[in-house]
Amino acid sequence: MSWIRERQLSFLERLTANILKAGPMPKHVAFIMDGNRRFAQKAHVERQEGHSQGFEKLAETLRWCLNLGIHEVTVYAFSIENVKRSKEEVDGLMELARQKFSRLLTEQENLEKHGVCIRVLGDLTLLPADLQQLIAKSVVATKAHNKCFLNVCFAYTSRYEIANAVKEMAWGVEQGLIKSSDVSEVLLSECLYSSNSPNPDLLIRTSGEVRLSDFLLWQTSYSCLVFQSVLWPEYSFWNLCEAVLQYQLSYRSLQKAGDLHREGQALQQMEADRSCVAELLQHCGNGEPMDAQSRQKDLLNYIASREERVHCFLNTLQHKRDTFFSRPGRSEKCLKEL
């Protein structure tokens, strides 16, 4: 089964897509693809077949997203919590992943035609070594593509991601790359696995469960959340259209809330910068009062130096992460440094 199914929309589907695209459209959609096991039970097939059907539905859904002009999709493929399932099911999921990433490596022409960039987000050191290598090769093979993006969250939970981002910032302070005063909400966002992507505009969960299950908790604070009762392998174009319509109905309020949050972040950062400059002047100044122009100059110089520190730190962090994908044969000890 291909990663992107080649199928044209029917006349009615095309008409509906064009009507929807007259309104605000999500640029980035996240999916919690829930219901594979219940689908297998309902269809009286093995659990593994349910997961296989779920992957086929992902390929079909990616095509629908492209038809709707949605150029970034993030999917919850394998939670760290999933390792608590039976060994038989976990082994089956690992084997399915091997098959699909191996297949991806044979589909370079199709992926290049659509410009699909595959990213895998999570702690890959928790996976078998051969699967790590397959994932690394797949990521490198599509890295230069930039028309659309598929982010696969594998060996992932949001709390693990946030904790890892905090560790990365602590490492940066320890190494002298940044100062403790540089740590902020914005910097934490830049240290997440998903830092190369904008936050999702729309998050969809299937199967009727109304919870996020530790998925993109930080990134979806101002996203439209849609919970649908359909099981993932039975998902349809019309279910996707319904979710997009709900996003459009919520668009203005979501935009307003997001704008207010960003304004608040900017004000917090400015206040933090002013506080740092005041502290520096208190320690280093000659005790004489400074005029407003001099204070403003010192503030701008401090902001420039902070931004340069943060920029260098993030480049170093990205290089650490890129090293795994360019050198998949490294030892597990080296991988865990990521």
Bridging pattern class, strands 148-156 and 72-79: parallel
Cβ distance 192 to 151 under 8 Å? Answer: no
pLDDT tens for 174-196 read 999 999 999 999 999 999 999 99
Tell me how many domains the chain contains: 1
Rounded CA-CA distance 102/141 in Å is 12
Strands (DSSP E) along the chain, which ranges?
A: 28-32, 72-79, 116-121, 148-156, 202-205, 224-227
Residue 155 lies in a domain: yes
Query: Is 294 contained in some domain?
Result: no
Q: Is residue 272 part of a domain?
A: no
CATH code for position 100:
3.40.1180.10
pLDDT at 338: 41
The DSSP call for residue 147 is S
List of E strands, 137-201: 148-156
Q: Which domain holds residue 31?
A: 11-265
- Does the residue 1 lie in any domain? no
| Sign (positive or negative) of CA dihedral 156, 251, 61, 57 | positive
Q: Would you say residue 295 lies in a domain? A: no
Q: Which residue has the tokens 């400074």?
A: 290
In a domain, 313, yes or no: no
Q: What is the pLDDT of residue 287?
A: 59
Total count of residues recorded for the chain: 338
| SS3 call for 186 | helix
Residue 27 lies in a domain: yes
Q: Residue 241 corresponds to which tokens in the numbers above? A: 């259209």
CB-based contact 328:132 (threshold 8 Å) = yes
Write down the pLDDT at residue 324.
78
**Helix axis angle, 47-67 to 11-20, nearest 10°:** 60
pLDDT string in tens for the chain (338-residue length): 566 666 789 999 999 999 999 999 999 999 999 999 999 999 999 998 999 999 999 999 999 999 999 999 999 999 999 888 888 889 988 999 999 899 888 888 888 888 999 999 999 999 999 999 999 999 999 999 999 999 999 999 999 999 999 999 999 999 999 999 999 999 999 999 999 999 999 999 999 999 999 999 999 999 999 999 999 999 999 999 999 999 999 999 999 999 999 999 999 999 999 999 998 888 776 656 677 888 899 999 999 999 999 999 999 999 988 887 876 555 444 444 44
Note the pLDDT tens digit of each residue in 277-315: 998 888 776 656 677 888 899 999 999 999 999 999 999
